[in-house]
């Protein structure tokens, strides 16, 4: 009876999940074995041909490299800043709620608006950063073209770190807020510094939250499209390509009418595999005994 | 008996009425049109007027329009997969050529276009995207690729319109002396920047030279000295100080805004520039345009032109292809073309219809064109993947000084061979 009840309650969710997620994923994998533009019924069976082509596609590798930089370099800055903010906000400082709201604010603004703001910051000649550097008398830095192809990726990354830090700070703060306050009080009575409290109490006691935020960041970084794409504009430079953007360029006919839907789907399948691998790796590498409180 | 007779007459009347209604149902057609414009755009307003006028002349034809915007063709792909009927669509001609047309999904309009229609077009326009003499696309908006510039500023700096490439470089020096920049670019728009290369190569080797170089499957087509010369000439505009040193950082539309601000004389781009900048420049801005100048010992003429057209396409699976084609014959009519100019503010492909004043030099270039090729020399249309992944990014690297012209050429040679090896 109990088993029947479980099946009955699970069936709708499993059914929807199968129809709207599992089946399309399988169909996508099947589509990735063909050469097709998606317009007509003409498809050419390639087997693993799209994947073989991907393996030797320098643009795809470039996009993977960018993705890795976003994930690791961006991740270090985002989580570094998020932990610093968490530490500061939990140190009993005045105006915690106000600062928490300010840090989170970029997340409630549309990505396009945020990227427009950042493009004004970095714009040569009339941009905010250029004007600021000129005021400081740093003429050589002021003439740097921050959005020129060789610099545009890292300019974009600055904006991305800025917008993402708030989101992850809020998640980590929520985890830290759950830790019983008597532990912090006891530590302070024992003479622990803020840094000691953070590393010896806060981090271990919210380890599960940290793993979840890392998984969230990894999946975001792997799927990253909106921010770099909006930053680079519709005529996006290859230096800003992520695999997701490359998928879009190859499958959806932007300025150049490239409609390689099978190839684009193969990129999507690779992204799916990468996401699963990243989650498994984070789970395995960061596995620790659960701390109870 | 009289009753019976009356009933018979009624029945006969009913049959006749039914026949009439039936006949109307057979002939009445609603053309489903998916458009590349967004509804509030002036071009959409113009098309609405044209459709409305057509429906008044042909009451049996009505229109159901979906204003999709720039992703029209991509959205249409989903519609086709879902079996949604669409009769007519429009898009950038290059996009259509590399999309629906390449997949053979356009209706062959050749037999549907009247002689008057065919002769109404400016030189070369209708034939540009024809496949072996068959017309699949129907161009209705005409953009020319020229140097678009501020006439007043040209006078102010004491320059004149250059007839040769050397004169262009000389104009750059004159403009620089006057404290202004002659040209501007958008660092992130590879398909604008490549116009320097494609135009120079076509001036040297003639129209179609870019596609021809690529179609040598050994890659050796790019080893022609003209290709290296075109690459070096593209760099020469930097060396001559034509473009400001900070221009690589301009992300569209930051570069072109410097023209409106009076810092820069002009830009090598299509005739949509005055429209795009109209809010910044105001109505009184004095726009001029000149063709990419002639080059020494070139086979191509200075009147050869790269163009960016917008076209209609009737879909092959349209339920009303003849009605749609009839509408297209009307679109190229003088009245419709005048509406496009007046309401849409665009250049049009019909002979004798005056373009908006700001685009007058573009119209002159179109009327005098000796050969046409698509935007960027046509490689985008014929081989979009190579253009997107190799030509534009590699050219941009070289153009912005990250690689040398020699490295650019050797990359093209290697990548072209690689492309054809994988497309046997």
Q: Is the peptide bond before B253 cis (omega within 30 degrees of 0)?
A: yes
How far B245 CA sits from the closest chain A CA (Å)? 9
Burial A37-54 (b: 16+ CB within 10 A, else e): bbbbeeeeebeebbbebb
Per-residue confidence (pLDDT) for residue B17, from 0 to 100: 43
- Same domain flag for B40 and B182: no
**Does B6 fall in a domain?**
no
Q: Do A145 and B397 touch (CB under 8 A)?
A: no
The answer to whether A217 touches A169, Cβ cutoff 8 Å, is: no
Minimum Cα–Cα distance from B188: chain A residue:
A237
Q: Do B73 and A42 touch (CB under 8 A)?
A: no
Per-residue confidence (pLDDT) for residue B400, from 0 to 100: 96
**Does B400 fall in a domain?**
yes
List of chain B residues whose C-beta atoms are within 8 Å of the C-beta of residue A150: 402
Q: Is the peptide bond before A167 cis (omega within 30 degrees of 0)?
A: no
Q: Among B353, B372, B391, where does a domain finish?
A: B372
Tell me which DSSP letter residue B356 carries.
Answer: P
- Same domain flag for B398 and B348: no
- Same domain flag for B176 and B91: no
Q: Do A253 and B95 touch (CB under 8 A)?
A: yes
**Does B110 fall in a domain?**
yes
CA A150/CA A209 separation, integer angstroms: 37
How far B98 CA sits from the closest chain A CA (Å)? 5
Chain A interface includes B82 (CB < 8 A): no
Walk along chain A (293 residues) in steps of 10 and give the mean pLDDT of each run: 89 94 93 92 92 96 98 97 89 82 88 88 90 89 89 95 93 90 89 88 90 96 95 88 96 88 97 96 85 62
The answer to whether A77 touches A161, Cβ cutoff 8 Å, is: yes
Q: Do B384 and A40 touch (CB under 8 A)?
A: no
Per-residue confidence (pLDDT) for residue B15, from 0 to 100: 43
Where are the extended beta strands (E) located within chain A? 34-35, 44-45
Distance separating the N- and C-terminal Cα atoms of chain A: 36
- Same domain flag for B364 and B398: no
Q: Judging by beta carbons within 10 Å of its beta carbon (0-12, 13-18, 19+), is residue B336 exposed, middle or buried?
A: buried
**Does B167 fall in a domain?**
yes
Residues of A with CB under 8 A from a CB of B: 37-40, 42, 53, 59, 119, 122-125, 143-152, 232-238, 249-250, 252-260
How far B238 CA sits from the closest chain A CA (Å)? 15
List of chain B residues whose C-beta atoms are within 8 Å of the C-beta of residue A59: 389, 393
Tokens of B127: 């034939």
List of chain B residues whose C-beta atoms are within 8 Å of the C-beta of residue A118: none
- Same domain flag for B125 and B17: yes
Minimum Cα–Cα distance from A155: chain B residue:
B249
- Same domain flag for B265 and B356: no
Q: Do A39 and B100 touch (CB under 8 A)?
A: yes
- Same domain flag for B177 and B292: yes
Chain A interface includes B245 (CB < 8 A): yes
Per-residue confidence (pLDDT) for residue B1, from 0 to 100: 37
For B99, the closest of A122, A123, A259 (CB atoms) is A259
Residue count of chain A: 293
Q: Do A253 and B381 touch (CB under 8 A)?
A: no
Report how many domains make up chain B. Answer: 2
Mutate to test the interface with B, among A129, A150, A234, A257 (most CBs of B within 10 A): A257
Q: Do A39 and B71 touch (CB under 8 A)?
A: no
Identify which of B371, B378, B374 has the alpha carbon closest to the alpha carbon of residue B310.
B374
Identify which of B199, B142, B255 has the alpha carbon closest to the alpha carbon of residue B378.
B199
**Does B1 fall in a domain?**
no
The answer to whether B355 touches A223, Cβ cutoff 8 Å, is: no
- Same domain flag for B263 and B383: yes
For B384, the closest of A38, A148, A258 (CB atoms) is A258
**Does B4 fall in a domain?**
no
List of chain B residues whose C-beta atoms are within 8 Å of the C-beta of residue A232: 188, 251
Instruction: For chain B, 424 residues long, give each residue's pLDDT as a single digit of tens.
Output: 344 444 444 444 444 444 444 444 445 899 999 999 999 999 999 999 999 999 999 999 999 999 999 999 999 998 998 899 999 999 999 999 999 999 999 999 999 999 999 999 999 999 999 999 999 999 999 999 999 999 999 999 999 999 999 999 999 999 999 999 999 999 999 999 999 999 999 999 999 999 999 999 999 999 999 999 999 999 999 999 999 999 999 999 999 999 999 999 999 999 999 999 999 999 899 999 999 999 999 999 999 999 999 999 999 999 999 999 999 999 999 999 999 999 999 999 999 999 999 999 999 999 999 999 999 999 999 999 999 999 999 999 999 999 999 999 999 999 999 999 998 8
Mutate to test the interface with A, among B249, B276, B387 (most CBs of A within 10 A): B249
Tell me which residue range forms the domain holding B361: 12-143+307-372
Minimum Cα–Cα distance from A241: chain B residue:
B389
What residues 92-121 of chain B have any CB closer than 8 A to a CB of chain A?
94-100, 102-105
Minimum Cα–Cα distance from B378: chain A residue:
A256
The answer to whether B313 touches B301, Cβ cutoff 8 Å, is: no
Q: Judging by beta carbons within 10 Å of its beta carbon (0-12, 13-18, 19+), is residue A122 exposed, middle or buried?
A: buried
Output phi, psi for A35, to 5 deg. Answer: -100, 115
Q: How many CB atoms lie within 10 A of CB B157?
A: 18
List of chain A residues whose C-beta atoms are within 8 Å of the C-beta of residue B393: 59, 237-238
Residue in the structure block whose two tokens are 């920049």: B181
What residues 246-285 of chain B have any CB closer than 8 A to a CB of chain A?
246-252, 254, 258
Domains and CATH numbers, chain A: 34-39+46-285 (1.10.3720.10)
Identify which of A237, A243, A250, A233 has the alpha carbon closest to the alpha carbon of residue A274.
A243
How far A32 CA sits from the closest chain B CA (Å)? 17
Helix, strand, coil percentages for chain B (3-state, nearest 5): 50, 15, 30
CA B297/CA B204 separation, integer angstroms: 7
Per-residue confidence (pLDDT) for residue A91, from 0 to 100: 77
CA B159/CA B172 separation, integer angstroms: 9
A-B contacts (CB, under 8 Å):
125
**Does B3 fall in a domain?**
no
List of chain B residues whose C-beta atoms are within 8 Å of the C-beta of residue A254: 388
Q: Do B380 and A59 touch (CB under 8 A)?
A: no
Mutate to test the interface with A, among B100, B210, B251, B376 (most CBs of A within 10 A): B251
The answer to whether B332 touches B121, Cβ cutoff 8 Å, is: yes
The three-state secondary structure class of B148 is strand
- Same domain flag for B81 and B221: no
- Same domain flag for B353 and B207: no
CA A278/CA B208 separation, integer angstroms: 48
For residue B35, give the CATH number of its domain.
Answer: 3.40.190.10
- Same domain flag for B192 and B236: yes
Tell me which DSSP letter residue B294 carries.
Answer: B
Tokens of A3: 């088993």
Per-residue confidence (pLDDT) for residue B169, from 0 to 100: 98
- Same domain flag for B286 and B270: yes
**Does B329 fall in a domain?**
yes
Q: Do B103 and A150 touch (CB under 8 A)?
A: no
* CA quadruple A7, A9, A15, A17: dihedral sign: negative
What residues 199-228 of chain B have any CB closer than 8 A to a CB of chain A?
none
The answer to whether B101 touches B313, Cβ cutoff 8 Å, is: yes
Per-residue confidence (pLDDT) for residue A292, from 0 to 100: 63
How far A147 CA sits from the closest chain B CA (Å)? 4
The answer to whether B219 touches B414, Cβ cutoff 8 Å, is: yes
């Amino acid at each position: 009876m109990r088993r029947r009840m479980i099946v009955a309650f699970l069936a709708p969710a499993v059914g929807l999940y199968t129809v709207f997620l599992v089946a399309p994923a399988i169909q996508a994998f099947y589509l990735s074995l063909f050469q097709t533009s998606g317009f007509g019924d003409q498809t050419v069976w390639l087997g693993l041909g799209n994947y073989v082509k991907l393996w030797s596609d320098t643009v795809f590798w470039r996009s993977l490299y960018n993705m890795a930089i976003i994930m690791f370099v961006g991740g270090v800055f985002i989580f570094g800043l998020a932990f610093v903010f968490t530490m500061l906000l939990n140190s009993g400082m005045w105006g915690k709620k106000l600062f928490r709201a300010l840090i989170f604010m970029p997340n409630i603004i549309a990505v396009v608006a945020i990227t427009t703001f950042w493009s004004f910051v970095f714009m040569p000649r009339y941009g905010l950063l250029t004007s600021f550097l000129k005021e400081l008398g740093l003429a050589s830095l002021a003439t740097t073209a921050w959005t020129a192809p060789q610099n545009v990726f890292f300019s974009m990354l600055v904006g991305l770190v800025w917008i993402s830090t708030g989101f992850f700070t809020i998640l980590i703060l929520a985890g830290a807020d759950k830790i019983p306050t008597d532990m912090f009080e006891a530590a302070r009575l024992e003479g622990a510094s803020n840094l000691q409290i953070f590393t010896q109490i806060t981090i271990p006691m919210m380890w599960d939250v940290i793993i979840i935020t890392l998984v969230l960041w990894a999946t975001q970084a792997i799927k990253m499209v909106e921010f770099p794409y909006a930053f680079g504009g519709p005529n996006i430079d290859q230096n800003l390509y992520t695999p997701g953007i490359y998928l879009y360029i190859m499958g959806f006919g932007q300025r150049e009418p490239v409609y390689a839907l099978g190839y684009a789907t193969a990129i999507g399948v690779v992204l799916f595999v990468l996401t699963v691998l990243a989650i498994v790796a984070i789970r395995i590498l960061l596995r620790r005994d659960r701390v109870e409180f | 008996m009289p009753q019976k007779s009356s009933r018979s007459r009624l029945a006969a009347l009913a049959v006749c009425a039914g026949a009439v209604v039936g006949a109307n149902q057979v002939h009445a057609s609603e053309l489903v049109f998916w458009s590349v414009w967004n509804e509030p755009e002036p071009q959409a307003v113009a098309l609405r007027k044209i459709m409305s006028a057509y429906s008044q002349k042909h009451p049996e034809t009505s229109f159901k329009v979906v204003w999709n915007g720039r992703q029209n063709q991509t959205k249409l792909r989903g519609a086709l997969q879902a079996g949604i009927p669409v009769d007519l669509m429009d898009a950038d001609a290059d996009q259509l050529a590399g999309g629906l047309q390449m997949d053979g999904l356009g209706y062959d309009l050749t037999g549907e276009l009247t002689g008057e229609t065919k002769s109404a077009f400016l030189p070369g326009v209708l034939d540009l995207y024809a496949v072996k003499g068959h017309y699949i696309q129907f161009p209705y908006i005409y953009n020319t690729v020229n140097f678009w510039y501020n006439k007043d500023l040209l006078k102010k700096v004491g320059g004149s319109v250059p007839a040769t490439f050397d004169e262009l470089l000389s104009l750059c020096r004159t403009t620089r002396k006057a404290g202004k920049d002659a040209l501007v670019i958008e660092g992130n728009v590879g398909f604008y920047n490549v116009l320097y290369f494609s135009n120079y190569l076509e001036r040297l080797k003639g129209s179609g030279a870019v596609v021809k170089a690529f179609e040598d499957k050994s890659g050796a087509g790019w080893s022609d000295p003209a290709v290296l010369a075109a690459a070096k000439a593209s760099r020469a505009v930097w060396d001559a100080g034509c473009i400001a040193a900070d221009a690589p950082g301009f992300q569209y539309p930051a570069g072109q805004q410097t023209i409106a601000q009076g810092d820069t004389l002009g830009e090598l781009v299509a005739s949509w520039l005055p429209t795009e900048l109209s809010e910044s420049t105001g109505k009184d801005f004095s726009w001029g345009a000149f063709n990419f100048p002639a080059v020494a010992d070139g086979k191509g003429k200075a009147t050869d032109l790269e163009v960016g057209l917008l076209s209609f396409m009737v879909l092959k699976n349209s339920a009303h292809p003849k009605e749609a084609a009839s509408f297209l014959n009307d679109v190229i009519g003088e009245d419709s073309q005048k509406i496009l100019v007046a309401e849409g503010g665009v250049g049009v492909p019909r002979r004798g219809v005056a373009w908006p004043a700001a685009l007058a030099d573009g119209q002159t270039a179109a009327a005098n064109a000796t050969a046409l090729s698509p935007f960027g020399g046509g490689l985008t249309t014929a081989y979009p993947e190579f253009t997107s992944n190799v030509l534009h990014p590699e050219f941009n690297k070289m153009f912005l000084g990250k690689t040398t012209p020699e490295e650019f050429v050797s990359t093209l040679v290697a990548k072209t061979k690689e492309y054809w090896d994988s497309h046997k």
